[in-house]
Amino acid sequence: MNDSATAAIHFQEVDYAIFDVTILKKITGSFPKGKITTLVGPSGAGKTTLLKLCNGLISPTAGDIFINEEPISSYDPIQLRRRVGIALQSAPMIQGTVFQNLALPLELQNKKLTEKEALHKLADVGLAQPILHQKVDDLSGGQRQKVSIARTLMNRADILLLDEITSALDPTSVHEIEQLIIDLNCKYETTIIWITHNLQQARTIGHYTWIMADGEVIETGEIDILTSSTNKRVQRFVQGNLA
Amino acid sequence: MTYLTLSITLIFVLIPLFLSKTLHLQLEKDTIIATVRSIIQLLAVGYVLKFVFEAESFFFIFLMVALMIAVATDNARKKGKTIKGITWKIAITLVVIEILTQSILLGFGVVPATAQYIISISGMVIGNAMVLAILFLNRFTAEVEARREETELILSLGGTPKQAVRQPLIDAIKTSMIPTIESQKTIGLVQLPGMMSGQIIAGADPVQAVQFQLMIVFLLLTNAAMSSVLLGFLSYPTLFNERMQLIKRKR
Ligand SMILES: Nc1ncnc2c1ncn2[C@@H]1O[C@H](COP(=O)(O)OP(=O)(O)OP(=O)(O)O)[C@@H](O)[C@H]1O
Ligand SMILES: [Mg+2]
């Protein structure tokens, strides 16, 4: 797990602070290439902040991050963000229609999205045609989340960062999205980092897991450590979550 | 008008002073300060202008215009404190607009190249551009703040800073231009523009006064468009760092 040779992303003593408030402390660890790693921990633990570091939306205040063994600072920010895609927690939308949102990643590269491709992507996330030209303001929370996932997939990134992408979905949809991501992982060997508050989900989809609390990583390892860890803080978090 | 007749008009200052006193508005001090300041400032400007007009030297004209730009810049910069190097950006914007308008007016011989024309028109152009710059900066910083998530989304998908602020920038440019366009729709119907009234009182032919006013109206349209577009394109890059990240500011 700490062998950075097989790591898609490796953190080395990473700190992140903003306005002198420390949010992440001495983060060290790897996200294995071609695997699904779930990222769990209580609210405010710093999970979203960690994902934004990987996508280059923010930079560490100390320490280093390596993407495919190259320091993150050696990448052009635009190329990095296309290769390390992120689905943001709040599923933000640009004003306009679902189609405009799906076309956005391509439009940013001066490319066009055809209606057929858009419908295909919608089908992938379990949405049907009538929604394509709907204004995003009229979408339900769950539909928004699905559009946000489809939009992130447009860039065909080799690393995908997913921030609680199923929190607003019904159980059937949750299952569909899980299957979609697992398929991507199998078919294209896409590396996945998936933040979830649902430990059951973390266990069924993840190969590995990172457990965070108070800006620190308190445990990393194969997914079983969620139940087998002897770390008191991990046990407390898991029990609290399942209760 | 003589200084004697002018002093009679001080009655218009006594009325608010009296009202303030009886109604306990506590505005006596401010009213007096405002009156004294306007007397000193305008008289000073009057004598300076008289001197400059008589000297007919381009050096003094240049000095007057530079002074106007400096004062206008100082006024507007306070609105854009969050933008780095805003003072220079506003100054450059005002200089470009001034040069553009004067070269068109003087170049085509629309107005004669005399101190009277250059300074009065500069005053209007620079004053107006300053108000627009303030309006634009207010709007742009608010717009970017309100649409942080959208901006971050575009960056996260591999967009450039320019692509990320495009919509807030366009919206801010639009909103700061609308008042100019709207006010021109009712011009002359509700209120006679200041310059036109002044010329008419001074005895100019009303049609002549209208022609000049129309020129100013057209000028102000260019002004409105140019000041927000220039300032917008000069200031958006400072919202991002070299890693193309939106710079966070403490609220
Ligand atoms: N821009 C910011 N300014 C100040 N504090 C911030 C900022 N961004 C994050 N924080 C703080 O950093 C901490 C971690 O936030 P983060 O969003 O990473 O948590 P999280 O683990 O994703 O939580 P959740 O499960 O609720 O999404 C929180 O205490 C948060 O208030
Ligand atoms: Mg979060």
- Residue of A74, A88, A137, A161 to mutate when probing chain B, most B C-beta within 10 A: A88
For B17-34, write each residue's pLDDT tens digit: 999 999 998 889 989 999
Ligand nearest to the CA of A163: 2
At the fourth CATH level, the homologous superfamily of domain A4-242 is: P-loop containing nucleotide triphosphate hydrolases (3.40.50.300)
Dihedral angle of Cα A135, A137, A139, A144, to the nearest 10 degrees:
100
- Contact by Cβ (8 Å): B207, B186: no
The side-by-side arrangement of strands in the sheet containing A84-87 is A84-87, A159-163, A191-195, A36-40, A208-213, A216-222
pLDDT-based confidence at B195, cuts 50/70/90?
A: confident
Q: Give all strands (DSSP E) within B74-231, no chain letters.
A: none
Q: Are strands A159-163 and A191-195 parallel, antiparallel or unpaired?
A: parallel
Shortest Cα distance, chain A CAs vs residue B145, angstroms: 15
Shortest Cα distance, chain A CAs vs residue B237, angstroms: 15
- Per-residue confidence (pLDDT) for residue A4, from 0 to 100: 44
Residues 73 through 92 of chain A touching chain B, CB cutoff 8 Å: 73, 77-79, 81-82, 85-86, 88, 90, 92
For B54-108, write each residue's pLDDT tens digit: 887 889 989 999 999 998 898 888 777 777 788 899 999 999 999 999 999 999 9
Ligand nearest to the CA of A18: 1
Chain B CB contacts of A154 under 8 Å are 157
Say how far apart CA A189 and CA A37 lie, in whole Å.
13
pLDDT-based confidence at B210, cuts 50/70/90?
A: confident
Taking the centre of ligand 1 as the mean of its atom positions, its distance from the CA of residue B207, in whole angstroms, is 66
For chain B, which residues make up each domain, given as ranges? Answer: 1-55, 58-239
- Per-residue confidence (pLDDT) for residue A242, from 0 to 100: 64
Say how far apart CA B243 and CA A78 lie, in whole Å.
9
Closest CA to A211 of A234, A192, A194: A234
For B121-164, write each residue's pLDDT tens digit: 898 889 888 888 888 888 888 888 899 999 999 999 999 999 99
Are the beta carbons of A108 and B149 separated by less than 8 Å? no
Residue owning tokens 């590269």: A109
Are the beta carbons of B156 and A59 separated by less than 8 Å? no
Say how far apart CA A9 and CA A68 lie, in whole Å.
6
CB atoms within 10 A of CB B178: 11
In this structure, chain B runs to a length of 251
Query: Counting beta carbons within 10 angstroms of the beta carbon of residue B82, is it exposed (0 to 12), middle (13 to 18) or buried (19 or more)?
Result: middle
Decide which of B190 and B15 is more confident.
Answer: B15
- Contact by Cβ (8 Å): A27, A216: yes
B228, β-bridge pairs: none
**H helix intervals, A154-243:** 171-188, 199-205, 225-228, 232-242
pLDDT-based confidence at A243, cuts 50/70/90?
A: low
Instruction: Quote the tokens at residue A35.
Output: 């695997």
- Per-residue confidence (pLDDT) for residue B197, from 0 to 100: 80
3-state secondary structure of A154: coil
User: What angle do helix axes A115-124 and A98-107 make, rounded to 10 degrees?
Assistant: 110
B244, B245, B246 member nearest A78 (Cβ): B244
For chain A, which residues make up each domain, given as ranges? Answer: 4-242
Taking the centre of ligand 2 as the mean of its atom positions, its distance from the CA of residue B168, in whole angstroms, is 26
Dihedral angle of Cα B77, B143, A56, A139, to the nearest 10 degrees:
180
* Mean pLDDT of the A109-137 span: 92
Are the beta carbons of B245 and A108 separated by less than 8 Å? no
Please tell me what DSSP assigns to residue A4.
G
- CB-based contacts of A104, cutoff 8 Å, min separation 6: A94, A151, A154, B154, B157
Helices (H), strands (E): how many in chain B? 10, 0
Taking the centre of ligand 2 as the mean of its atom positions, its distance from the CA of residue A46, in whole angstroms, is 7
Chain B CB contacts of A102 under 8 Å are none
- Per-residue confidence (pLDDT) for residue B190, from 0 to 100: 64
CB atoms within 10 A of CB B217: 15
A17, β-bridge pairs: A22
- Contact by Cβ (8 Å): A53, A14: yes
The side-by-side arrangement of strands in the sheet containing A62-67 is A21-32, A7-18, A62-67, A70-71
Is B155 near chain A, with CB under 8 Å? yes
In a 13 Å sphere around the CA of B105, the CA atoms on its Cβ side amount to 23
